[in-house]
Chains A and B, each alone.
Chain A
């Protein structure tokens, strides 16, 4: 069964090559079809392998395939090898499944765009890279995928590169990610120095018995987390994700919500053994995660651009995932990653459908009253909003409460994290309903020149399918506290062998506590939803009043706490100044001076010496004679 593993990545690669090389000869439809078939193929193979995996006993659930030796250098032999275990299975299915729906949706969304073949080839390349990332059995191949998705992210954010702002947004994403990746590379070097291998499983086996201090693991994992911080847009490297919304909406859905940005969470879960050996790092991860969750949620409340709200919401939800892996609830983090891929992908696609119907309008204040015109979008978006808000019965509820439970039950003093998590949940519910109400209800503020119409079925079908997933995706992780068996958690157990929180035998007694926590979070969420209803439906004037009364707080949130401005002032400006000095003074004066100076000197010298070439034979002859006389004298002396 394992020998078909390579097909998972081969299909999208072929799709990329076909669209990239002979795309010009394909019609728009054919191009989209090729891209969808490629991802569909990956999805089918992944599903087949998943069933094969399920047929095996839990401890034997692993397929590996080594394709070829990629970088054999002395002791180091990096192979292109795939590793399909429960964790990879979840990831490949999410990437190829959600990816397929978004590819299909793209056919409708990108209809009529002149660069659609380029778009699909990049989207396929992205899928190839993302699948390589999640299937890699060694860190170098994982890093290849890691950089590859970063590249595709850059290419697709700046897809409409004629618009300079969009091209710049792409560059920003690329550069900010590079900062994190530097940490990742150093982490890999450290691990190689210590263990002499870069295979993930070999490192995991060697790590617990290794004769090194705590400091080594802390350093290596912190650096790895630095990479994750960049890719997953956590504080302090979160600034690129909101700008990444410059790309086409399906790209935001696939790359900047469902898959690539969760790679950081995957990386930590994949290396859970290493991270478990570094408690200091784990605390850092959890703290930064929950801070990011709260911070981003507090920004999302005031944003007026529908995609920006969703972007900050994504940062916030990623913060939840990091909180989960930080408190050791790895499977809860992966569970939330999966449900988040469903509902956030759905929300983005629904937002895309709204934007599409309003001919590119993204400003919430110019929407409203759309539920009549976009019934399907309205209902599917409602599902997404309910799921992300954590209303019981929807997927987001199960995964989020599992994280909160993990945070609460993990250590003494971690209940602070739980408190922040609850607060974030309330904020989340509020801003999502704010977005929802302002889009579909109230006064229709869009210019009445054209009638918004429901998107074509090629766009609405993926919406409906994702809505199903957003509702029922949570039930595979139905918590034991509610009488379920949490299949998802048990499925991942063999891989995520780190310190587990949820569903441990010792926790049986505290199901009551878990239940009461669920009740608390549900109450908070419902309260927030009701409040949003009051502010945006019942008394629409209240919003402006609140903004007025909150004054400074509102301004801070509206301006994203001026983080971008601070970076501009503290990092970008000094760098630019340094670059300007290096160029205008050092390069132009010093470097060019030396180079040109040496040139001029030689030229001048040549001008002097060429006078020797008089063209008069007698001069030459006399010099020959002088030479002969010198030689004779020399010989005579010698």
Chain B
């Protein structure tokens, strides 16, 4: 039984929306970070789906790229969060506004 493309796309859309909502509404920096990963995964899912659907490997190659990038980004991002936490004693991003006017 083949899962139809639209189901997968709908699921990916749902995932992406959850990610966006997490980024926009959660206050914990770690959670926001996780939400970003969810968004990335949603996109990965779409790539895989299309790759299978069209029988084209390019999409899978892209997925690997995105994963690598995401890993690098997480390394940097977590370092930033840790140093922010050390300096400000909080991980609540509504209290972190060093770039304020």
Q: Which residues of A contact B (CB under 8 A)?
A: 610-611, 613-618, 621-622, 625
* The one of B20, B25, B93 that contacts A616, using a Cβ cutoff of 8 Å: B93
Instruction: Assess whether A615 is in contact with B101, with CB atoms less than 8 Å apart.
Output: yes
- A23 and B12 CA atoms in complex are apart in Å by 90
8 A Cβ contacts from B82-100 to A: 93-94, 96-100
Write the B20-43 contact mask toward A (1 if CB under 8 angstroms, else 0).
100111000000100000000000
Instruction: Assess whether A613 is in contact with B100, with CB atoms less than 8 Å apart.
Output: yes
Instruction: Assess whether A618 is in contact with B94, with CB atoms less than 8 Å apart.
Output: yes
Instruction: Assess whether B24 is in contact with A621, with CB atoms less than 8 Å apart.
Output: yes
| Cβ–Cβ < 8 Å partners of A613 in chain B | 99-101
Instruction: Assess whether A615 is in contact with B24, with CB atoms less than 8 Å apart.
Output: no
| Cβ–Cβ < 8 Å partners of B93 in chain A | 616-618
B71 CB to nearest A CB, Å: 21
Residue of B nearest to A611 (CB): B101
- A43 and B98 CA atoms in complex are apart in Å by 82
Tell whether A625 pairs with B20 under 8 Å between CB atoms, given A616-B93, A616-B94, A618-B94: yes
B72 CB to nearest A CB, Å: 20
Instruction: Assess whether B100 is in contact with A614, with CB atoms less than 8 Å apart.
Output: yes
A625 CB to nearest B CB, Å: 6
- A611 and B97 CA atoms in complex are apart in Å by 13
- A611 and B100 CA atoms in complex are apart in Å by 9
| Cβ–Cβ < 8 Å partners of A617 in chain B | 32, 93, 96
Interface size on B, residues (CB 8 A): 13
- A245 and B34 CA atoms in complex are apart in Å by 93
12 contacts between A and B (CB under 8 A): A613-B99, A613-B101, A614-B97, A614-B101, A615-B99, A615-B100, A616-B93, A616-B97, A618-B24, A618-B25, A618-B93, A618-B94
| Cβ–Cβ < 8 Å partners of B100 in chain A | 613-615
Residue of B nearest to A618 (CB): B24
Looking at B20, B94, B96, B101, which has the most chain A CB atoms within 10 Å of its CB? Answer: B101
| Cβ–Cβ < 8 Å partners of A621 in chain B | 23-24
| Cβ–Cβ < 8 Å partners of A616 in chain B | 93-94, 97
- A614 and B24 CA atoms in complex are apart in Å by 15
8 A Cβ contacts from B1-25 to A: 20, 23-25
Besides A614-B97, A618-B93, 11 other CB < 8 A contacts? A614-B101, A615-B96, A615-B99, A615-B101, A616-B93, A616-B94, A617-B32, A617-B96, A618-B23, A618-B24, A625-B20
| Cβ–Cβ < 8 Å partners of B97 in chain A | 614-616
| Cβ–Cβ < 8 Å partners of A611 in chain B | 101
Q: Identify the 9 closest CB pairs spanning chains A and B, nearest first.
A: A615-B97, A615-B100, A613-B101, A615-B99, A610-B101, A616-B97, A621-B23, A622-B24, A618-B24
Instruction: Assess whether B25 is in contact with A615, with CB atoms less than 8 Å apart.
Output: no
| Cβ–Cβ < 8 Å partners of B32 in chain A | 617-618
B101 CB to nearest A CB, Å: 4
A302 CB to nearest B CB, Å: 78
8 A Cβ contacts from B47-80 to A: none
B31 CB to nearest A CB, Å: 12
- A616 and B24 CA atoms in complex are apart in Å by 11
- A389 and B24 CA atoms in complex are apart in Å by 106
| Cβ–Cβ < 8 Å partners of A614 in chain B | 97, 100-101
A218 CB to nearest B CB, Å: 72
- A611 and B101 CA atoms in complex are apart in Å by 7
| Cβ–Cβ < 8 Å partners of B98 in chain A | 615
- A232 and B100 CA atoms in complex are apart in Å by 73
| Cβ–Cβ < 8 Å partners of A618 in chain B | 23-25, 32, 93-94
A307 CB to nearest B CB, Å: 71
- A622 and B26 CA atoms in complex are apart in Å by 12
- A30 and B73 CA atoms in complex are apart in Å by 82
Residue of B nearest to A616 (CB): B97
Residue of B nearest to A613 (CB): B101
Residue of A nearest to B36 (CB): A621
- A165 and B39 CA atoms in complex are apart in Å by 85
B4 CB to nearest A CB, Å: 23
- A281 and B24 CA atoms in complex are apart in Å by 91
Residue of A nearest to B98 (CB): A615
A264 CB to nearest B CB, Å: 69
B64 CB to nearest A CB, Å: 26
- A487 and B98 CA atoms in complex are apart in Å by 98
- A614 and B95 CA atoms in complex are apart in Å by 11
| Cβ–Cβ < 8 Å partners of B24 in chain A | 618, 621-622, 625
- A618 and B94 CA atoms in complex are apart in Å by 8
- A616 and B27 CA atoms in complex are apart in Å by 10
- A613 and B99 CA atoms in complex are apart in Å by 8
